[in-house]
Structure 1
Amino acid sequence: MDAIVKSFPPRPEADAEQATKHYLDKPVTDRPSREEAEAAVRTLLRWAGDDPEREGLKETPERVVKSYQELFSGYDRSPVEELGRTFEEVAGYDDMVLVKDISFHSHCEHHMVPIIGKAHVAYLPKGKVVGLSKIARAVDIYARRLQTQEAMTAQIATAIQDVLKPRGVAVMIEAEHMCMSMRGIQKQGSTTLTSTFTGVFKEKPEEQVRFVTMVRDSRNG
């Protein structure tokens, strides 16, 4: 069962610029010490009803903190740095560049449970291109932060548009949210689809159709 979320309308430019500026570079926050983080995990274990001192849980706080460093490593990385190295020797190529089926794991900012999905990202070059792996890394950076799917979709598009300045960007994300599958309504297998477009993709619906067709046709071929 697919739950479809259509492209969301843009906000006023001033609001959008303020809202996305934070996501273009590394967010800055005062972090507690590792010891404080491990103590917080022990508190949660007790709150859940278990004994953090029993054999199976003694090292759990240390393991959880270590895993969080990996799962939320996007806070220590900058998409601007990843996308900043471009190549101008493109032999005149100016048609769509599509990187599809970029697998990612993220976490819902409301319940801190997993979001598992794939991103499809395309742009129309304007005199320069970026390494294909950089697109995937930009997706990974935003995925490894607390997220909503809608925000992540917009952040990827904004970063690529602002850094590469192409003629347009298209981003589509398909994902399953464990906050729907594991808790609450508990609807396993339900997926959410979000998309957003900038530049030529936004101005010309036929380019949106071409993008979606390329994503779907290459998958079914």
Structure 2
Amino acid sequence: MKGHVKELLTELGEDPNREGLLKTPERVSKALHFLTKGYQEDPLAILRAATFREDYQQMVIVRDIDFYSLCEHHMLPFFGKVHVGYIPNKYITGLSKIPRIVEVFARRLQVQERLTTQIKDCIQQALSPLGVIVVIEAQHMCMQMR
């Protein structure tokens, strides 16, 4: 990836050998691997590892989950808050697992609509709740910067 970044810098009209850019290819490579680490994680396994039988049928809500993702169309950031609610049907999960699955899906090239659906589908598949709701509020740099 570093070679491609160096080539990209040249295509942009920059000198990849100038002092400020010498380590840029390595930094960009590390950053992109971190920002897309969700491809190496299994969100369903995360939820299933902390699933507990519980006779509870009131809505469980986890609000204001921070997320950061990259738009798949421009590879520019979009970020904001995720709110997740579900009504258990004999099974619950640890509350900390909800932000974890949000991060796994967000750390992939995304669109907001798919991110919303993937979170919902994962909870539905892992817990078979009576209902699930996912709301995402986001700022898209691909819209705001361009």
TM-aligned CA deviation for residue 168 of structure 1: 1.0
Partner of 1:87: 52
Structure 1 residue ranges, 4+ long, deviating more than 2 angstroms after superposition? none
For 1:114 and 1:150, the matched residues in 2 are separated by 15
Q: Distance in 2 between matches of 1:72 and 1:55?
A: 28
Equivalent position SS for 1:103: strand
Give the alignment's TM-score, normalised by structure 1: 0.64
SS at the partner of 1:173?
A: strand
Q: Percent identity between the aligned chains?
A: 52
**Structure 2 residue 36 is the aligned partner of structure 1 residue 72:** yes
Determine which of 114, 128, 138 is the counterpart of 1:165: 128
Q: Deviations over 1:53-102 (max 9, x none)?
A: 111111111111111121111011111111112011x3x32110000100
The residue that corresponds to 2:112 in the other structure is 149
Pairing of 1:120-199 with structure 2 (within 5 A): 120-183=83-146
Q: Which residue type is aligned with residue 124 of structure 1?
A: I
Match of 1:52 among 16, 36, 40: 16
Taking the aligned partners of 2:103 and 2:94, their CA distance within structure 1 comes to 15
By relative contact order (CA 8 Å, sep 6+), the higher-ranking structure is 2
Relative to the length of structure 2, the TM-score reads 0.96
In structure 2, the partner of 1:38 is: 2
Post-superposition shift, 1:116? 1.1
1:114 aligned to 52, 57, 77, which one? 77
Aligned CA RMSD, in angstroms, stands at 0.8
Cα deviation code 1:131-188 (max 9, x no counterpart): 11111111001100000101111111011101111111100000010011101xxxxx
Task: Give the letter aligned to residue 39 of structure 1.
Answer: G
Q: 1:101 — aligned with what?
A: 64
Q: List gaps (5 residues or longer) in structure 2.
A: none
Amino acid in the other structure paired with 2:132: V
Distance in 2 separating the partners of 1:40 and 1:151 = 28
Report the CA distance between 1:47 and its aligned residue: 1.2
